[in-house]
Chains A and B, each alone.
Chain A
């Protein structure tokens, strides 16, 4: 491995800007770190270069641990967005800088310089000053300069940001050629997904300091695992659907799904439909793909090769529609059509069309939507406006439904509302909260989020499960929640006090197992802690240690639930997510 990052974390003013990032980049690989501004990608690159120190974690280059090695001894080449050329030096002096530092002889220097200038197609420019070059030429000089000392790793920090489209394209090609010719391991940081697709062997998508997903460009585009990656890499229609044994059901219609999995438990899922996978036709019979709904064309935009449509849904799937690519309200789908499709069926605004879906991808996330549950509609409405819950829904691009249960917490009473509990059920934290929580869990709620009135967005999430049956589900839910928070994840393993000595060794192994499962199966990096004592008590103690924490607890049985958790739940100050997976 050329570059190995292990749990690299960097805090700035208390908040993590790079959050537990682990990553292996192979020899000669072109790796692109993609993310919006503020996602921590540049900070990570600077950490690899040695320009900013990490708080914890290790960085290795070609098997050499360089975590505490100064930038000048790491043997990397770095190219900055604003070129960072030495303005008082000529092109030749700039390129030879690294060689001069290394006391290379003048003739050898000149030879290497000519070689590099040829590589970046700038022959004969030796005696120019940077100010006499165009932006594209300056960046070529910067690339040549960064390569002069034959670094093992080339790092590019948004190198095309300041250039116009045409030059950008050209320079992209040059850099890719140079990289292939030299076979040098390269990391490029960008916020431009098109650039990432065009250049990368592999892309790592970052958001909120976390490395969300990694993969080849095509895999990430067609099979994203998270909402963020689905919507950040190109446009996507996110649709709340139901997974049934027959396929994916959207509204009233079952759309044939690519990932058909018979015998599966029916539940709400988040489906991704790319705009180019939506088909529009004059009537339902004319569709060649699964019928979704009928709609009215609201907008037609010609963008050159493709035509972009916005189609308002008329029946069937209004409610399940989640987020719009641009955040617009109302149930409308984004559709793109090729010239060929346009010629086959011309479309004008206001026209009624039948909508079909060619391909659906279902996100593996267990958190689809929220249902605010309370004793009255008014209370449910108030709960749906709780800042933390509202913020989570916005970040997850999902909706908050409401459900009134007048008998909430009354023993033996049945559910008043029809239908099963959909998505994650939210409950306001209050004095007899533990009983209400148990009541809901016994009546079919699987994931229950208890939110105190003044809860803020957490900076640390504690994870614990009671019973191995809940482990996998708890980790999946935790991973899903943490993708939307810039918080650190901490798994708290708790063992009975009297067995401390005997269980310590076993406990250690369990912690490490949990960590590697989280990492491998769910892409979740977490720290681990070992504690001894009563579970609820230890968790309460841990929560009291710092503000802005959240607790995720997995449970497999509800016996004495209210009793055990009343200390944590009744009037608790912390948001708590209970993941209940009863043994069948």
Chain B
């Protein structure tokens, strides 16, 4: 690799240095420390901690609910982005700003707010109660909280891609005889698919790491409504740093595999296009 590459802004060497330093200090070193802490644990203890029924239950909830939340946001994020991009209506700017609210709100506040609304005597919860639907203190509540906090990622990822889908393309398809669903499936969706996947990935990653809002609405019953981040905190409160680190490493590993898989999927999709060209 050469550090002399022509560019409008010079200084590849310097900026590359900053990039590696920053990534190391902020990302790589803490992760290494985590792995190191877990490594001081004996192998059998490590297995005992990470494969305990309670831990397995928490993985299932954490990854399951995060996946579900990201999937929900995939659909509704697209709809919201579509509405914001394609239609002019009074209050559009307001709604556009509202999307980012979950970003700004301390997550604990979101959790408390959701619990207030969805508890069995809450504004919405009291009407769901007679139908036998319990939201607060169940996996449903966890999914709801994760959906709320990961929504902006899905919307913001798709919005620019939708802006780029030119009206001409849809109009061209229309004059060629395509109906609305056909236009959506064959013209719009292929154009925004990479952005949709990105949005899904971001939302999923965000949901996986969420802690603050979930603990209020989840009820935190071991095996049932206990997410992995909470389990880690519980270990910490018992001064079991190594146990906490072990769980952290497992989460890290699974997250990495999932995110890598999605990225590879995207790259494969792009390559398929280029191949089709030859």
Q: Which residues of A contact B (CB under 8 A)?
A: 49-51, 70-74, 76-78, 80, 82, 84-88, 90, 97-98, 101-102, 127-129, 132, 145-146, 148-149
What residues on B are CB-neighbors of A148 within 8 Å?
A: 176
What residues on B are CB-neighbors of A72 within 8 Å?
A: 174-179
Contacts A101-B182, A127-B277 given; does A84 touch B176 at CB 8 Å: no
* Segment among B4-12, B14-22, B143-151, B164-172 that sits at the interface with chain A: B164-172
What residues on B are CB-neighbors of A82 within 8 Å?
A: 166, 168
B176, A97: Cβ atoms closer than 8 Å: yes
Given contacts A87-B191, A102-B177, A127-B277, 20 further A-B contacts (CB under 8 A): A50-B175, A51-B174, A71-B175, A72-B176, A72-B177, A74-B175, A78-B172, A84-B166, A86-B173, A86-B187, A88-B191, A90-B277, A98-B177, A128-B277, A129-B276, A129-B277, A145-B172, A145-B176, A146-B175, A146-B176
Considering the chains assembled together, what is the distance between the CA atoms of A556 and B278 in angstroms?
78
Considering the chains assembled together, what is the distance between the CA atoms of A50 and B171 in angstroms?
10
A84, B178: Cβ atoms closer than 8 Å: no
B227 to chain A, nearest CB (A): 39
Considering the chains assembled together, what is the distance between the CA atoms of A135 and B175 in angstroms?
22
Residues 207-258 of B at the A interface (beta carbon under 8 Å): none
What residues on B are CB-neighbors of A85 within 8 Å?
A: 172
What residues on B are CB-neighbors of A51 within 8 Å?
A: 171, 174-175
A80 to chain B, nearest CB (A): 5
What residues on A are CB-neighbors of B86 within 8 Å?
A: none
Residues 41-63 of B at the A interface (beta carbon under 8 Å): none
Interface check B13, CB cutoff 8 A: no
A84, B273: Cβ atoms closer than 8 Å: no
A88, B176: Cβ atoms closer than 8 Å: no
What residues on B are CB-neighbors of A90 within 8 Å?
A: 276-277
What residues on B are CB-neighbors of A146 within 8 Å?
A: 175-176
A84, B174: Cβ atoms closer than 8 Å: no
A84, B172: Cβ atoms closer than 8 Å: yes
Q: Which 6 A-B pairs have the closest CB atoms?
A: A84-B168, A98-B176, A84-B172, A129-B277, A78-B175, A101-B177
A103 to chain B, nearest CB (A): 11
What residues on A are CB-neighbors of B168 within 8 Å?
A: 80, 82, 84
What residues on B are CB-neighbors of A98 within 8 Å?
A: 176-177
What residues on A are CB-neighbors of B173 within 8 Å?
A: 86, 97
Q: Which residues of B contact A (CB under 8 A)?
A: 166, 168-169, 171-179, 182, 186-187, 190-191, 273, 276-278
B192 to chain A, nearest CB (A): 11
B88 to chain A, nearest CB (A): 13
Considering the chains assembled together, what is the distance between the CA atoms of A50 and B174 in angstroms?
9
A295 to chain B, nearest CB (A): 51
Considering the chains assembled together, what is the distance between the CA atoms of A1 and B18 in angstroms?
71
Q: List 8 A-B contacts (CB under 8 A).
A: A72-B174, A84-B166, A84-B172, A85-B172, A88-B191, A90-B276, A90-B277, A149-B177
B175, A129: Cβ atoms closer than 8 Å: no
Considering the chains assembled together, what is the distance between the CA atoms of A335 and B166 in angstroms?
46
B174, A132: Cβ atoms closer than 8 Å: no
What residues on A are CB-neighbors of B276 within 8 Å?
A: 90, 127, 129
Considering the chains assembled together, what is the distance between the CA atoms of A78 and B174 in angstroms?
10
B172, B174, B276, B277: residue with the most chain A Cβ atoms closer than 10 Å: B172
What residues on A are CB-neighbors of B191 within 8 Å?
A: 87-88
For B174, the closest partner residue in chain A by CB is A71
What residues on B are CB-neighbors of A76 within 8 Å?
A: 175
Contacts A97-B176, A98-B176 given; does A88 touch B277 at CB 8 Å: no
Considering the chains assembled together, what is the distance between the CA atoms of A51 and B170 in angstroms?
10
B86 to chain A, nearest CB (A): 15
Considering the chains assembled together, what is the distance between the CA atoms of A283 and B74 in angstroms?
83
A122 to chain B, nearest CB (A): 15
A46 to chain B, nearest CB (A): 8
A47 to chain B, nearest CB (A): 13
Considering the chains assembled together, what is the distance between the CA atoms of A148 and B172 in angstroms?
13
A77, A78, A127, A128: residue with the most chain B Cβ atoms closer than 10 Å: A78
Of the residues B169, B178, B190, B273, contact of A101 by C-beta under 8 Å: B178
B164 to chain A, nearest CB (A): 10
What residues on B are CB-neighbors of A84 within 8 Å?
A: 166, 168-169, 171-172
A49, B277: Cβ atoms closer than 8 Å: no
Considering the chains assembled together, what is the distance between the CA atoms of A76 and B171 in angstroms?
12
Considering the chains assembled together, what is the distance between the CA atoms of A148 and B177 in angstroms?
11
Considering the chains assembled together, what is the distance between the CA atoms of A77 and B172 in angstroms?
9
Considering the chains assembled together, what is the distance between the CA atoms of A71 and B177 in angstroms?
8
What residues on B are CB-neighbors of A49 within 8 Å?
A: 171, 175
B179, A88: Cβ atoms closer than 8 Å: no
Considering the chains assembled together, what is the distance between the CA atoms of A312 and B168 in angstroms?
49
A50, A86, A127, A148: residue with the most chain B Cβ atoms closer than 10 Å: A86
A88, B273: Cβ atoms closer than 8 Å: yes
Considering the chains assembled together, what is the distance between the CA atoms of A128 and B191 in angstroms?
18
What residues on A are CB-neighbors of B179 within 8 Å?
A: 72, 101
A77, B175: Cβ atoms closer than 8 Å: yes
Considering the chains assembled together, what is the distance between the CA atoms of A78 and B277 in angstroms?
25
Considering the chains assembled together, what is the distance between the CA atoms of A142 and B176 in angstroms?
11
Contacts A71-B175, A102-B177 given; does A88 touch B190 at CB 8 Å: yes
Considering the chains assembled together, what is the distance between the CA atoms of A235 and B177 in angstroms?
43
Considering the chains assembled together, what is the distance between the CA atoms of A70 and B56 in angstroms?
56
For B274, the closest partner residue in chain A by CB is A129
A85 to chain B, nearest CB (A): 8
Considering the chains assembled together, what is the distance between the CA atoms of A84 and B171 in angstroms?
9
A78, B171: Cβ atoms closer than 8 Å: yes
Of the residues B169, B171, B186, B187, contact of A71 by C-beta under 8 Å: B171
For B182, the closest partner residue in chain A by CB is A101
What residues on A are CB-neighbors of B177 within 8 Å?
A: 72-73, 98, 101-102, 149
A77, A84, A127: residue with the most chain B Cβ atoms closer than 10 Å: A84
Considering the chains assembled together, what is the distance between the CA atoms of A84 and B179 in angstroms?
17
What residues on A are CB-neighbors of B166 within 8 Å?
A: 82, 84
Considering the chains assembled together, what is the distance between the CA atoms of A489 and B191 in angstroms?
46
B66 to chain A, nearest CB (A): 30
B166, B175, B178, B179: residue with the most chain A Cβ atoms closer than 10 Å: B175
A101, B176: Cβ atoms closer than 8 Å: yes
What residues on A are CB-neighbors of B190 within 8 Å?
A: 88
For B179, the closest partner residue in chain A by CB is A72
Considering the chains assembled together, what is the distance between the CA atoms of A314 and B153 in angstroms?
75
A137 to chain B, nearest CB (A): 14
For B178, the closest partner residue in chain A by CB is A101
B268 to chain A, nearest CB (A): 15
Considering the chains assembled together, what is the distance between the CA atoms of A132 and B169 in angstroms?
18
A97, B171: Cβ atoms closer than 8 Å: no
A51 to chain B, nearest CB (A): 5
Considering the chains assembled together, what is the distance between the CA atoms of A245 and B182 in angstroms?
69
Considering the chains assembled together, what is the distance between the CA atoms of A127 and B175 in angstroms?
23
What residues on A are CB-neighbors of B273 within 8 Å?
A: 88, 129
A110 to chain B, nearest CB (A): 16
B169, A127: Cβ atoms closer than 8 Å: no
For A70, the closest partner residue in chain B by CB is B174
A104 to chain B, nearest CB (A): 11
For B273, the closest partner residue in chain A by CB is A88
